[in-house]
Structure 1
Amino acid sequence: MSRASKADAQANRAAAVKAASRLFREQGVPNVSVGDVMRSVGLTQGGFYKQFASKAALVDEAVHLGFIDMLRYLSDLQDGSADHAAAWSSLLDTYLSVEHRDDPGAGCPAAGFAGDVAHDPRPRETYAAGVREMAGWIAPGNAGLAALSTIVGGLLLARATAGTEVSEEILGAVREAASPPAD
């Protein structure tokens, strides 16, 4: 196989993982087939098995990529803020927004994959590692876990009630209740 073919294969794999991460968060893992993922990047379903051992392996990589992207976003927030409290405040404004509520495919992997991972433990270790890293960005120890749980829970409830008056009330209430973490 030529060098260009290996590069193409790597690019195709990366595109499939990126598309899967988005599609799985938008529609849920059980509702997205291997064929759906591959079609979304212009590839055949047969090509999938040259790249991945199984759909479960793809799910694990998609979860991992979602957290990598989220942690990059958090790092960028930190770099663009005067201090961590300002970065946390910026996160709350975007995380607990109508736009984030309505765009799960581009949104937080902790919220986007929560239900699927609860029902299928195969990507659980990858998910747990991502949750721990996100919580660690927020604050050390239990404070970070509690704050992350609060905003993820608020986002999930807002998504579940989207289209009703209570949805935006939830976003506002959680934004107000989530104080900047202690440094």
Structure 2
Amino acid sequence: MKVKKERARENFQALLEAAGTLFRRHGIDAVSVSRIGQTAGLSHGKLHGKFESKEDLAADALSYTIHTVNCFIADGAGAAAPSLSGQLDHFLSLEHRDDPASGCAMTALASEVGRMGPEVSERFAEGFTELVDIFQESMSGGSGDTEDRGTAMTLVAALIGSVSVARAVAKGDPKLSEDLLRHARRVLGDLAE
């Protein structure tokens, strides 16, 4: 019985990872549940009954993906020592811009989430709040100051918007996209000081 439960947990995690990657790469509406199952290596029978709807799957996948990426950012985005500067460098990098499938789900899906139901929106809000907490901690050492909180919220919203717009214009005007990321890095770095 223990092996069966472990296998079910592994299947569930594979499903969330596949959904998160496919949703970030193609958008929630563009990906079918059967494609997610195939990517996760699961049969239709193993998918049946796990979620009431695709939107339920999207909510769980969004939570899982946002939390996973937020943990990576909190740990310093791969840097030896976590720092606000390193977090900003990662978030506003060309690598992050060019790889939505493994980057921040909020930058890839913000506008689409706004058209979905309350559960998906709630999960996005939870992830946004978690990322605000991470940046507030990096900026102020965890002070509960409301001014620091407001600055952190503005910073995170500006990061999400900057990457989203940089992605949107990258194919049509690569220089504009790169300039946007570079200027956002400078301005947001100043804001966070």
Equivalent residue for 2:95? Answer: 99
Instruction: Indicate if the aligned counterparts of 2:34 and 2:44 stay in contact, CA closer than 8 A.
Output: yes
Say yes or no: does 1:156 pair with 2:164: yes
The letter for the 2-side match of 1:97 is S
> Percent identity over the alignment?
28
Q: Which runs of 5+ in 1 are unaligned?
A: none
CA RMSD of aligned residues (A): 1.8
Instruction: Indicate if the aligned counterparts of 1:63 and 1:123 stay in contact, CA closer than 8 A.
Output: yes
Deviations 1:137-182 (A, max 9, x none): 1124111110011111110110001122211111111011112525
SS at the partner of 1:112? helix
Instruction: Indicate if the aligned counterparts of 1:110 and 1:152 stay in contact, CA closer than 8 A.
Output: yes
SS at the partner of 1:119? coil
Task: Name whichever of 135-144 and 26-35 sits farther off.
Answer: 135-144
Deviations 1:9-39 (A, max 9, x none): 2211110011101110111000000011001
Map 1:1-183 onto structure 2 (within 5 A).
2-77=1-76, 80-81=80-81, 87-121=83-117, 122-139=119-136, 140-163=148-171, 164=173, 165-179=175-189, 181-182=192-193
TM-score by length of 2: 0.85
Instruction: Indicate if the aligned counterparts of 2:88 and 2:189 stay in contact, CA closer than 8 A.
Output: no
Instruction: Indicate if the aligned counterparts of 1:17 and 1:62 stay in contact, CA closer than 8 A.
Output: yes
How many pairs does the alignment contain? 177
Where does structure 1 differ by over 6 angstroms across 4 or more consecutive aligned residues? none
Q: Distance in 2 between matches of 1:104 and 1:170?
A: 17
SS at the partner of 2:49? helix
